[in-house]
A and B are shown apart, each in its own frame.
With several copies, the nearest count.
Chain A
């Protein structure tokens, strides 16, 4: 299955990319997506995750075509 991964703000700067496109075989969680996209980088504490623009836990399962996003705590308003 195809997963699009997006990064925002300081996390995007730290990683040096704004997005990845990954292919998975079988079941994958949000945490798996991070590990596959960033094998040499531990997910920073407090990172938030969203699937298809809704907040999810890291053990949430992803499906083909999902957009998975990782970003630091929000600071709008």
Chain B
């Protein structure tokens, strides 16, 4: 299980691959991997977005993410979990968040990764401030609910 906060862009594919290779005890044991990647878009709520600054509460972020991963591990038979999250200045098309869950069976991988993402969205202390093409800045006020409304 690994949780990392990145102040610089990360390559999601290299990260997952490296983690999967480094976790030798996983080899041959996992049958299912569910990965979610959230990426910065160049538009939001009808406006062109130039960039974003992601603020976080160092320490609490890691503590809450560890709790969330522990909750998921109690509810589903999870073999391993990787959670990466960006902070700082982010440009469109850069990955913001990565959640990868390894399990034996696919239902558990889907359920656990979705649980972690929803919990992260509602409880991990991150805040996004968008810089619009118009040069205006705005704090995002609320994460929509991915479970109920099917939106992010």
Interface residues of B (CB under 8 A from A): 38, 54-57, 59-60, 63-64, 85, 96-97, 106, 117, 120-129, 139-143, 152
Pairwise interchain contact A53-B143, C-beta atoms closer than 8 A = no
Determine the chain A residues whose CB is within 8 A of the CB of B97 once the complex forms: 76-77
In the complex, what distance in Å separates the CA atom of A7 from the CA atom of B125? 12
Residues of B contacting A: mostly = mixed
In the complex, what distance in Å separates the CA atom of A50 from the CA atom of B67? 15
Pairwise interchain contact A53-B60, C-beta atoms closer than 8 A = yes
Determine the chain B residues whose CB is within 8 A of the CB of A69 once the complex forms: 57, 60, 125
Select one of A10, A50, A53, A74 contacting B126, CB under 8 A: A74
User: Taking the nearest CB of chain B, how far is it from the CB of A30, in angstroms?
Assistant: 15
| CB<8 Å pairs between A and B, sample of 18 | A6-B57, A8-B55, A9-B139, A10-B139, A53-B60, A54-B63, A71-B127, A72-B139, A74-B121, A74-B125, A75-B126, A76-B97, A76-B126, A76-B127, A77-B38, A77-B120, A77-B143, A77-B152
